[in-house]
Structure 1
């Protein structure tokens, strides 16, 4: 039986992490698309073409963000139903997913691929530093939470039913 418990912990540990990561990616993408694309109108997902293409790319990006968010929440609900939710680990995944996505956006999409910038202004570096520093802080918070839960899952400790 101990072998099955260890296997279940490993499976649920990964599911908690991936549920949080999916939700985090979806949430930060939703915030990016809603705030920077729609409300502030600083850029579109794809700015190398017409405004119509930019709007279509925003719609596809918005759909992606909702699929990721909903997928993460379906996994979250399943974990709750199975009494296998490790909330701290899930939050670690949320911060990690959001941070990695934002850092990818700020470095790969903004600088390497140049499909859009945060904002088209002089002194863009200020926006880039804030964007990427925030991403790195989210990654650090996420990794810290994940490492804390990894240590609490040592044999003999019952972390599999944490509801904090």
Structure 2
């Protein structure tokens, strides 16, 4: 195989590893948000600007989205492993990026811009918003560091 062809292929597989991890990370963050904050703690619904019934329906749609993203990311990862093209560090970097980006989007866009729900309905939201968004930024920065620290090397699958 030509050298140029191999580098194009490697670049394609790096992107697939990142995308697979990113989808899994988005799905994981959405799933944890749904289970912890919507169901167990019952702090809010995905859409709180209507009836409780509409809030529960929106939670169900949100939950379905989280599983589509999670399963899609895992199917892509399984394909990468089957092809022996799984870069585990790139994948984990993608997971952290997806988780952090989802959380930052949720905290800034859904909570503050669109106001479809808040983290929790209490008088002083600032501390909740601060913690939520600081964790999101930490996850994003950590994901970028994990991706960059890899140096392009690929962890080979053990026999």
| TM-score exceeds 0.5 | yes
Aligned residue number for residue 60 of structure 1: 61
Structure 1 residues 28-59: Cα deviation after superposition (integer angstroms, max 9, x where no partner): 00000000000000000000000000000000
Q: CA RMSD in A?
A: 1.2
The alignment partner of 2:50 has SS state of coil
Aligned residue number for residue 22 of structure 2: 21
Say whether residues 1:87 and 2:88 are aligned partners: yes
Residues 1-164 of structure 1 aligned to structure 2 (within 5 Å): 1-149=2-150, 152-153=151-152, 159-163=153-157
Residues of 1 paired with 2:84 and 2:155: CA distance? 6
Residues of 2 paired with 1:24 and 1:100: CA distance? 9
Structure 1 residues 71-106: Cα deviation after superposition (integer angstroms, max 9, x where no partner): 000000001001101100100000000000100000
Residues of 1 paired with 2:134 and 2:13: CA distance? 31
Residues of 2 paired with 1:162 and 1:130: CA distance? 37
For structure 2, the 5+ residue unaligned runs are none
Deviation at 1:163, TM superposition (A): 4.8
The alignment partner of 1:49 has SS state of coil
Residues of 2 paired with 1:162 and 1:61: CA distance? 36
Deviation at 1:160, TM superposition (A): 3.7
TM-score by length of 2: 0.96
Structure 1 residues 125-148: Cα deviation after superposition (integer angstroms, max 9, x where no partner): 010000000000000110001112
4+ aligned runs moved over 6 Å, structure 1: none
Residues of 2 paired with 1:27 and 1:38: CA distance? 15
Residues of 2 paired with 1:124 and 1:14: CA distance? 38
Residues of 2 paired with 1:73 and 1:41: CA distance? 28
The answer on whether the counterparts of 1:86 and 1:163 sit within 8 Å (CA) in structure 2 is no
Residues of 2 paired with 1:22 and 1:91: CA distance? 11
Q: What is the aligned length?
A: 157
Deviation at 1:161, TM superposition (A): 4.6
TM-score by length of 1: 0.93
